[in-house]
Amino acid sequence: MRQADSAVKSFRNLQRRIFQLGFFVLFIFAPIFDIFRFDLNLGHFILFSQPWTLGLDPFLKGEAPVSDGIINLLLRGFLPLAGLVGFAFWVSWKYGRLYCGWLCPHFSVVETINNLMRRASGKFSLWDKKEMSNKRADGSEIPRNKTYWVLVSIAVLGFAFLWAVVLITYLLPPAEIYGNLFSAELSMRQSIFISAATVALSIEFMFARHLFCRFGCAVGVFQSFVWMANRKAMVVSFDRPRAKLCAYCADACDEVCPMRLKPRTIKRSMFTCTQCGQCLSACEQVQFKNNEAPVIRWKSGQDARQESDR
């Protein structure tokens, strides 16, 4: 039975990585194929290659009655926005920061740099006070080598530059940006934007990527507040009566958490949990070797209230 559970969790980890990769590719190519972007030159959104405006031009020109303007504002502005916010609220209410852990392109960068930095220094973050274990939860060793700092630097600068270029393609025609980039003919404003964004993102990716996810991302904080308000939402639950089993573990669940949280604590202290499930996989791997069931697992509904009420 535990072997089956382990296989399911391994599949879920792979599934999460596939979702992350897919959304990261979408993040890059969405403006290129006009799936979604806001064109500053045109002054409106483009959605699936079609212009998306509020449809107020006829009303502003006096060619349409007020009622047409109100209807267009509702159908093209308020209702789509309300639907998007409502869907995000529903997902966050039930599952917390699911978008962060399973889709967010920033969080996938965070995890990538974390893993490289752990090989370079034994830490996920420069601000960690102590080094992590040199073994994974399954007992395999994580080789450490200071030459990995080169890969860390390349990843930080590379992702920062990629993000800077992609972000500007959401605002200006991608063909123009990539054409100017490859021919080294970027305009002054384009060069300033890409350079400034690359520097800012490099600093953030190197020094403050966890802090941004935890406190600086409006989308993430919104999800956290909604999740905290629902005492029955899906949560990582710690089986406290079996806590003695943790004596055989070197805090594997704590070490793998990309957000540097303590999964065995109460829900209020897990405010920024991204529901990535890595702590659960680590616990399962450790306890599997001891022929025991994991001491932390997902709980929802009435079973989740204990973590909210504790």
Which of 75, 95, 115 is a domain's end point?
95
User: At 37, is the pLDDT very low, low, confident or very high (cuts 50, 70, 90)?
Assistant: very high
Which residue is it, tokens 């604590």? Answer: 265
Which of 79, 95, 111 is a domain's end point?
95
Sign of CA dihedral 44, 49, 50, 54: negative
Mean pLDDT, residues 31-54 taken together = 94
pLDDT at 60 exceeding the cut of 60: yes
Q: Give me the DSSP letters along 10-32.
A: HHHHHHHHHHHHHHHHHHHHTTT
pLDDT computed for residue 249 by the predictor? 87
Integer CA distances (angstroms), 138 to 9, 120, 203, 251, 258, in order:
14, 20, 33, 13, 18
Structural domain harbouring 54? 42-95
* Residue 132 placed within a domain: no
pLDDT at 306 exceeding the cut of 80: no
* Residue 71 placed within a domain: yes
- Count of domains in the chain? 2
* Residue 170 placed within a domain: no
Which residue is it, tokens 């300033």? Answer: 192
pLDDT one-digit tens code per residue, 121-178: 999 988 888 888 888 888 889 889 999 999 999 999 999 999 999 999 999 999 999 9
Q: Which of 42-46, 99-103, 133-137 has the lowest mean pLDDT?
A: 133-137
Which of 62, 95, 128 is a domain's end point?
95
pLDDT at 10 exceeding the cut of 70: no
Q: Which of 52-56, 168-172, 226-230, 236-240 has the lowest mean pLDDT?
A: 52-56
* Residue 146 placed within a domain: no
What mean pLDDT is reported for the chain?
91
* Residue 286 placed within a domain: yes
Cα(292)–Cα(277) distance, integer angstroms = 19
* Residue 154 placed within a domain: no
Mean pLDDT, residues 300-304 taken together = 87
pTM of the model: 0.89
* Residue 201 placed within a domain: no
Asked if residue 57 lies in contact with residue 138, where contact means CB atoms within 8 angstroms, the answer is: no
Cα(294)–Cα(137) distance, integer angstroms = 12
% of the chain residues with pLDDT over 90: 71
Cα(119)–Cα(116) distance, integer angstroms = 5
* Residue 2 placed within a domain: no
pLDDT computed for residue 5 by the predictor? 52
**293 Rama class: left (phi>0) / alpha (psi -120 to 50) / beta:** beta
User: At 284, is the pLDDT very low, low, confident or very high (cuts 50, 70, 90)?
Assistant: very high
Cα(146)–Cα(189) distance, integer angstroms = 38
pLDDT computed for residue 47 by the predictor? 94
Cα(247)–Cα(47) distance, integer angstroms = 54
Instruction: Give the helix, strand, coil percentages of the chain, each rounded to 5.
Output: 65, 5, 30
User: At 9, is the pLDDT very low, low, confident or very high (cuts 50, 70, 90)?
Assistant: low
Q: Give me the DSSP letters along 147-174.
A: THHHHHHHHHHHHHHHHHHHHHHTTS-H
Sign of CA dihedral 151, 153, 155, 161: negative
